[in-house]
Structure 1
Amino acid sequence: MLLEIVDLYVKYGNIEVLHGINLKVREGEIVTILGANGAGKSTTLLSISGLVKPSSGAIYFNKNSVHKMAAHAIVKQGIAQVPEGRRVFGTLTVQENMNLGAFVCADPARAKKTQEWIYELFPVLAERRQQLSGTLSGGEQQMLAIGRALMSQPKILLLDEPSLGLAPLLVKTIFQTLREINASGVTIVLVEQNARAALKLAHRGYVLELGNIVLEDSSEALMANPRVQAAYLGGEATRS
Structure 2
Amino acid sequence: MGASKQYKGKDCAYCGKLGCSSTNDHVIARSFFLDTERGVGLQIPKVAACQRCNNEKSELEGYIGSTLLIGSKHPEANRYRSEKIRPRLDRNQKLRKELNIDSPPVWTEINGLLQPMHAVTVDVDKINRLLQFIVRGLYRHHYHKPLPHDMTPDVSMIRPEAEASMWASVSHFFPPEAPRINCDLGRGSFVYSGVQSPVNEGFTAWTIGLHGQIPLHGQDGSADHWWCMTRPTPEAVAAARSHAGRPYEEK
Give your verdict on TM over 0.5.
Answer: no
TM-score (norm. length: structure 2): 0.23
TM-score, normalising length: structure 1: 0.24
